[in-house]
């Protein structure tokens, strides 16, 4: 059973075979740190975190590179060349690098909240200006770029004569050349489809570097090509990012890297789909985005309550990464409850004794459990179908709960099967899906206080003093602590 991934480049599912056996190089387009991350940004980083974790689980040695775009991009073709970062820096009266630092820190904080692993290397665009300049020079020397007024453009038409420009995104070059839109700065280009490798900086532009063509700043696409080449080589295994980056960003990356390195850069291109709101893509420019800090605090008009990082992570895992995922407060609330139920069953499962004699008293049930569990790997190997793994887990929840409370006899399922479930649930929920117990700040003092209250309530109940016992339970409920009277007479509590 081997891993299959959907390769956007060939539009088919392919068996994953790394270029170097045992090793995987993966590049994922990271954030532009000119503002705060929103829910939409969480999707690719969680998606590729799961992919990273799964590759590690399969035993690969993975180098995961995710860049920080801190140089700011000019607005493509057309409008005034403007650097988003420097523009905002003026508004906020901050140094560009101060702004970049602020949002980089916030991004890292959010990633940690969401329990994403850190990438192996997190290179910044500003830290790789030299590499970008070298790459641009190589492209010029190869005859695929030209300089005009201090800016350098990639010659798409020339490239397309011998290469398949548009293959990744399904673009037809003739259509691109025929775009009728009126665009500023177009006159510097030989063709409309050409894209900038280097832009001359206007005087007011704060971020600027010296180059053989004058002072300026790098084009939109070159940083990823330069940094991917530097850290992963001329050819690497996986390039990931949001679907909205396929064109022109990834298409241009392919063209640049191909000219420099004589290879298409990545063997497999993986793209996650968008998060939508009422069917429309969530995005900064659509005015429908919810920042991650707002998600966590609940402080947004589209939210009826706060949602924890794990709820968001779980919500994203419940759908396939190549499908759109429609956001609503209601859908998130559903995910929150589902996660709670799953996690409680998982906790109970880990406490189930698996010591009885071995043979399953209910072979049909035992078999069902095993096949549900064994399908986990099959689903993940089929282009990372996290939603299906979760569905199977939910099918096992009633079994676990029933084993716990005696609806199903303990020996109905073989001890080996219990151990298999315990092991697989742990590996999948914690190692691969990266879910963690929230509010783990279960400190021992609170536990002691709770035990005291539970004892007092137990005494009241034994005297049929239900006024007192209900007062304790109701007031705790008001504080967000739920008491549960178990079948065996014990009392458990959970934080709501």
Q: What are phi and psi of 150, to 5 degrees?
A: 85, -5
The maximal CA–CA distance of the chain, rounded, in angstroms, is 92
Nearest to RNA of 82, 416 (CB atom): 82
Give which of 429, 416, 428 is closest to 367, Cα–Cα: 416
Give the shortest CB-61-to-RNA separation in angstroms.
25
Nearest to RNA of 60, 114 (CB atom): 114
CA distance 156 to 176: 10
Helix-helix angle 415-426:329-351, to 10 degrees: 140
Torsion of CA 11, 17, 19, 21, to 10 degrees: 170
Give which of 150, 129, 157, 169 is closest to 253, Cα–Cα: 169
Give the shortest CB-355-to-RNA separation in angstroms.
22
Nearest to RNA of 98, 395 (CB atom): 395
Nearest to RNA of 331, 452 (CB atom): 331
Give the shortest CB-158-to-RNA separation in angstroms.
19
**Token duo for residue 107:** 């991004």
Give the shortest CB-141-to-RNA separation in angstroms.
25
Query: Contact at 8 Å (CB) between 275 and 44?
Result: no
Give the shortest CB-230-to-RNA separation in angstroms.
20
Nearest to RNA of 6, 60 (CB atom): 6
Q: 23: part of which helix (H) or strand (E)?
A: strand 23-28
Give the shortest CB-374-to-RNA separation in angstroms.
14
Nearest to RNA of 106, 325 (CB atom): 325
Give the shortest CB-78-to-RNA separation in angstroms.
7
Nearest to RNA of 131, 223 (CB atom): 223
Torsion of CA 397, 402, 405, 409, to 10 degrees: -140
Give the shortest CB-20-to-RNA separation in angstroms.
27
Give which of 398, 431, 408 is closest to 356, Cα–Cα: 408
- Which residues contact residue 360 at a Cβ distance below 8 angstroms, ignoring those fewer than 6 apart? 366, 411, 412, 413, 414, 417
| DSSP 8-class letter at 77 | S
Residue 277 pairs in a beta bridge with: 280, 327
CA distance 224 to 9: 17
What would you report as the CA-atom Rg of the chain, rounded to the nearest whole angstrom?
27
Nearest to RNA of 60, 194 (CB atom): 194
Give the shortest CB-67-to-RNA separation in angstroms.
11
Give the shortest CB-126-to-RNA separation in angstroms.
15
Query: Contact at 8 Å (CB) between 278 and 286?
Result: no
Nearest to RNA of 109, 466 (CB atom): 466
Nearest to RNA of 58, 387 (CB atom): 387
CA distance 394 to 391: 5
Query: Contact at 8 Å (CB) between 296 and 308?
Result: yes
């Amino acid at each position: 059973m081997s891993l299959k991934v959907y390769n956007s480049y060939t539009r088919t599912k392919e068996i994953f075979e790394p270029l170097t056996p045992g090793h995987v190089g993966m590049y994922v387009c990271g954030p532009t740190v000119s503002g705060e991350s929103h829910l939409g940004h969480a999707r690719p980083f969680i998606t590729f975190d799961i992919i990273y974790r799964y590759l590690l689980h399969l035993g690969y040695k993975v180098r995961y590179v995710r860049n920080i775009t801190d140089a700011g991009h000019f607005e493509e073709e057309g409008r005034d060349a403007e650097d988003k970062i420097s523009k905002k820096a003026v508004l906020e009266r901050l140094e560009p690098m101060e702004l970049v630092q602020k949002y980089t820190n916030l991004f890292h904080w959010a990633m940690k909240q969401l329990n994403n692993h850190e990438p192996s290397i997190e290179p910044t665009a500003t830290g790789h200006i030299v590499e970008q300049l070298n790459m641009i020079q190589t492209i010029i020397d190869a005859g695929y770029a030209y300089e005009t007024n201090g800016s350098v453009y990639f010659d798409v038409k020339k490239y397309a004569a011998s290469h398949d420009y548009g293959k990744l995104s399904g673009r037809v070059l003739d259509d691109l050349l025929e775009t009728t839109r009126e665009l500023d700065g177009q006159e510097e280009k030989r063709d409309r489809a050409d894209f900038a490798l280097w832009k001359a900086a206007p005087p007011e532009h704060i971020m600027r570097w010296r180059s053989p063509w004058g002072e300026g700043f790098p084009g939109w696409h070159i940083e990823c090509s330069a940094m991917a080449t530097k850290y992963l080589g001329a050819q690497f295994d996986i390039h990931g990012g949001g679907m909205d980056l396929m064109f022109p960003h990834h298409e241009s990356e392919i063209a640049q890297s191909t000219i420099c390195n004589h290879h298409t850069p990545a063997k497999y291109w993986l793209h996650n789909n968008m998060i939508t709101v009422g069917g429309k893509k969530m995005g900064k420019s659509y005015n429908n985005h919810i920042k991650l800090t707002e998600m966590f605090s609940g402080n947004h008009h589209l939210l009826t309550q706060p949602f924890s990082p794990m709820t968001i992570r779980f919500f994203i895992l419940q759908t396939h990464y190549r499908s759109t995922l429609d956001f609503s407060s209601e859908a998130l609330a559903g995910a929150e409850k589902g996660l709670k139920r799953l996690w409680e069953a998982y906790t109970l499962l880990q406490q189930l004794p698996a010591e009885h004699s071995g043979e399953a008293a209910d072979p049909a049930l035992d078999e069902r459990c095993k096949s549900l569990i064994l399908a986990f790997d099959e689903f993940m190997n089929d282009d990372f179908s996290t939603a299906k793994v979760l569905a199977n887990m939910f099918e096992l929840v009633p079994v676990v709960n029933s084993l716990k409370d005696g609806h199903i006899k303990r020996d109905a399922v073989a001890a080996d099967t219990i151990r298999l479930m315990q092991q697989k649930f742990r590996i999948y929920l914690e190692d691969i899906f990266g879910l963690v117990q929230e509010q783990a700040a279960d400190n021992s003092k609170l536990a002691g206080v709770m035990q005291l209250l539970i004892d007092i309530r137990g005494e009241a109940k034994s005297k049929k003093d239900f006024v007192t016992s209900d007062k304790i339970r109701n007031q705790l409920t008001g504080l967000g602590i739920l008491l549960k009277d178990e079948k065996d007479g014990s009392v458990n509590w959970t934080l709501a």
